[in-house]
Amino acid sequence: MKKSELVQKSYEIAKERYAAVGVDVDAALARLQKLAVSIHCWQADDVTGFEKLDNLGGGGIQATGNYPGKARNIDELRADIEKVLTLVAGEHRLNLHEIYGDFGGKVVDRDQVEPEHFTSWMQWAKEKGLKLDFNSTSFGHPKSGDLTLANPDKSIRDFWIEHTKRCRKVSEEMGKFQNDPCIMNIWVHDGMKDLTVNRYEYRRLLEQSLDEIFAIDYKNMKDCIESKLFGIALESYTVGSHDFYLGYGAKKQKMVTLDMGHFHLSESVADKISSLLLFTPEIMLHVSRPVRWDSDHVVILNDDTIDLAKEIVRADALDKVHVGLDFFDASINRIGAYAIGIRSTQKAFLQGLLEPLAQLRKYEANGQYFERLALLEEAKVLPWNAVWDYFCLKNNIAVGEDYIAEIQQYEKDVTSKR
């Protein structure tokens, strides 16, 4: 029997098995098909970007490893993204940091960036059926230091305010061009390595800077603000903490970004979803995998990812939660890292969509907690993998482990020659 026939047969059996517990598999697949993952461009080049500035690195950003074949320019980055898109199903988005602009070999400082520096990205994305998201970039610059938007030095603070304003303008033009809002994320690394006696003052300055940045109300972009527990070399104090952005987001009705690596390892990011949905308009996710710290390991199908996806489905919030990725592993094949991370994220959401939620809610409403726990456990071993294989098959992408050979061939033909 051909593999495609085996996949089809397994799917039909799985479909019947799920129907027995009240799950419409076809409806689940239809929803998964529409789940757009915002793919982060920086996995392909180790967060280097294409500026001609004296990039100093730092700011809590560190890609580890030196696997051969990283993208060295825009053409190579785009080629890698195009390859990734042949390995994953669905229509997705591409998330760009400001440092990935098409600067034409010219020096363009960050307070001078214009929409024209991303025109070629917009045109390319349209050709490839992608929508774009965007990020301001505060790290890796001579004026970064330990403080940017919270810097007491007004000249430095104004530089980063202007940069972020211009990034919002770029995002607005992206959203207008693609006729779909561009989501722009603001994350600044501002903090202190050791003890500070000015916590309040730095946060007051950050609030003041954000108010100035958000003074213009755009229609074709959406703002989101991202917290962090700590940054590399800034371990003792982070100005933009979760408490700060949660308060600011609720007060100003801004989207809050939840990065899975930006909290204590014992915290549940999944548990935060329902609370934020009550007080902020939408949520942006950066799906990552911390190992002991915010190490940005490749997303895998682990409990944290599954719990997060299930909680979003249980809250009926797929239209209010935007799913983006944020990891950069330079120790393995970068295309492979993309494929594993995207596919694992989709698998997690598929498990959430296949959960027998109606019956589980009925048990809970009736106080049948044994029955609820028993069904939750049995649902874990229902044949979701057969449904996943069928999802790949019907989208004409590699089923199961077949994508490994495709990536190996791309490495042989393309990345190994860089």
**Active site positions, annotated:** 187, 226, 228, 259, 262, 286, 294, 296, 326
On whether the CB atoms of residues 49 and 97 are closer than 8 A, the answer is yes
Q: How far apart are the C-alpha atoms of 101 and 115, rounded to whole Å?
A: 9
> Which long-range CB contacts under 8 A does 200-207 form with residues at least 24 apart?
201/152, 202/147, 202/150, 202/152, 202/239, 203/150, 203/239, 203/244, 205/149, 205/150, 205/151, 205/152, 205/157, 206/149, 206/150, 206/239, 206/240, 206/244, 207/244, 207/248
On whether the CB atoms of residues 28 and 354 are closer than 8 A, the answer is yes
Decide: residue 150, CB within 10 A, 0-12 exposed, 13-18 middle, 19+ buried: buried
At residue 249, φ and ψ (nearest 5 deg) are -65, -40
Q: How far apart are the C-alpha atoms of 415 and 409, rounded to whole Å?
A: 10
DSSP assignment letter at 298: P
Quickly count: other Cβ atoms within 10 Å of residue 351's Cβ: 23
Quickly count: other Cβ atoms within 10 Å of residue 206's Cβ: 24
Q: How far apart are the C-alpha atoms of 135 and 223, rounded to whole Å?
A: 10
DSSP assignment letter at 142: T
